[in-house]
Structure 1
Amino acid sequence: MKSDPRSGLLDDAAVASAHASHAAEAGPEHPATVAPGATLGLGAWLLQAVLFVAIPAAVLTLAGLLSLLLVRVAADIRIGLDVFTPTALRPRLPLYEMAGRGVAADVLRQVLIAGFAVGLALWQDGAAWRRRLALTRPAEPRTSSPLRLWLLMAVWPVIHILWVTETARALNGGLAQGIRISPFLTPLAVAGWFAYVVVLAPMAEELLMRGEAFARAGRIMRPAGVIAATALLFSLAHLSESGGIARPISLLPLALTLGWLRWRTGRLWPCMLLHGWSNLALLAYLLWPRAY
């Protein structure tokens, strides 16, 4: 059953009313503070905790499957291949075609993730979806000084590169300077791949993790718990068969920093900016010719 899209607003209003009533009873000398989730029973809290993990996992899985399916159908139609041809009878595709399909699927997956994140926010909070995803100015800003934020932007890529490369080396993650872009990618595919790494992935992942998931976790956890939980979820979402545990471990400091930035500023755009800047810096380092 589809819930009332205003339910999130109604719940927030009810909790705020309960807080105000409790504070009035406590008196001015003993202001009351109610922890997130304190008004929920154990069963409701556990349900929200499960949804916090299950919803992003479902979004990532569905976006991945849909992107592969849609790209395969569109690419088959483009080259005149019957989309219902059995796998055993399908002709061997050129390497540039396979590489291009892989980039197209990556790009489309990020677009779908962003769309699902916005759709979930609309379904949950209706007209207040931008506030849920921290795309509007917060009611109670906790903004750090601009100098501190710019200093973080300047210093962080160095920290990120050192941590990622050293953890990859320690855990045999196969990450090294001097890698090359596949020669089978067309110029358009290369441009799409760069856009995917530097722009689309940071935007989509932040909308889902530090947007929707962060808002959902904030209903049941304190800020430190929200930052840690979303960081762990983000890191585990990058677990892969080829990279093993090295990739999640290498991304954990970035995820914690992004969560802190989301909480500290109350906005999502600084997270997108730092995420994209980190990806660009790491990409530039990895593509830089190795010095022998």
Structure 2
Amino acid sequence: MKKNSIAVLRVSLGLVVWFLITMAFSRILVHKLPEGIPDIVILILSSMIVPYTLGLAGFLAVTGRMEKVMPKAEIPVTSALLLKSLIIQLGLSIPVITVINIIIRMLGGNVGSSMSADLFGKNWLFYAALLLVFNPIFEELLFRKMILERLLILGSKEVIIISAIFFAIPHAISQGIPQMFGTFIVALVWGYIRIKTGKLWPCMILHGLFNLFCGYIITVLSGNPEGAVAVMFIFMIFLPVLSVFLLVRSRNFGREKQSVA
């Protein structure tokens, strides 16, 4: 028990160091840079380079000598598994994000800034690369590989939940409370896939698809009344119902498999 608590504490401290270095540059040190540096260079430094050079070095300085356990594959990666995981992550996370957004607005609170202007603005190519390629690769390397492998000694269920919490908290600070709950849900799915398949690349694909749907597809479809209705039906009714069905079916199948064994 003491060993497990120390492991969680060290990873927590490493993640805090990583986040503080990242935030220190993007919110403080970036203003110390010489004038005339193009905005795109600053974006690349603050969103890509610093978090995964200096920030990652800080994380490894705290956790580098920790014992690591590699997940052993229990199930194969199939197109059916990826499709089911995509449906579940979208069907559960998007309604939660939407409902919490509505509640906070009704209470007069601030739900955080929208990224739609950035996604379709002058630096749209940078944000497309960031959300669809860079973040899915490097965030998964940090959260579903480095962090998960250092905490797997706690047990599969425990590490899935704890790593999802670690993933969600920074999103609360950078994107708001609704996004925190949404990213917690999808991180549960990605952690499960990582544990069960022993592979990291499916998590990267699911991560990129989540960003694609939440950042681009829903925004584009919601641009007109007909599209908004379609979004409401697909992401607030159809996919949530289908997600619950798939989860219940998978749970029942698992019980039947155990009883047969």
TM tier relative to shorter chain: 0.5 to 0.7
Q: Within 1, Cα distance between the matches of 2:194 and 2:175?
A: 30
Count of residue pairs brought into register by the alignment: 219
Q: 1:238: how far off?
A: 1.3
Q: Within 2, Cα distance between the matches of 1:161 and 1:145?
A: 24
Is 2:95 the counterpart of 1:162? yes
Runs of 4+ in 1 over 6 A off after TM superposition: 175-178
Matched with 2:179 is 247
Kept after mapping to 2: 8 A contact 1:239/1:248? yes
Q: Within 1, Cα distance between the matches of 2:114 and 2:221?
A: 7
Matched with 1:7 is none
Write 1 or 2 for the structure with the bigger share of helix: 2
The one of 269, 279, 283 aligned to 2:201: 269
Relative to structure 1, the CA distance from residue 192 to residue 290 in structure 2 (aligned partners, 3 Å threshold; closer, same or farther) is: same
Q: Within 2, Cα distance between the matches of 1:267 and 1:218?
A: 14
- Listed as ranges, the gaps of 5+ residues in structure 1 are 1-36, 80-96
Secondary structure, aligned partner of 1:239 = helix
Is 2:163 the counterpart of 1:222? no
Q: Which amino acid aligns with 2:148?
A: F
TM-score calculated relative to the size of structure 1: 0.61
Is 2:49 the counterpart of 1:108? yes
Q: Deviations over 1:111-145 (max 9, x none)?
A: 437854996699548xxx9xx696xxx6x421245
Q: 1:289: how far off?
A: 4.9
- Listed as ranges, the gaps of 5+ residues in structure 2 are 226-261
The percent of aligned pairs where both chains have the same amino acid is 19
Is 2:15 the counterpart of 1:56? yes
Matched with 1:180 is 117
Matched with 2:233 is none
Secondary structure, aligned partner of 1:262 = helix
The one of 130, 142, 147 aligned to 1:196: 130
Q: Within 2, Cα distance between the matches of 1:242 and 1:215?
A: 27
Matched with 2:214 is 282
Q: 1:56: how far off?
A: 1.6
Secondary structure, aligned partner of 2:75 = coil
* RMSD after superposition: 3.7
Matched with 1:148 is 80
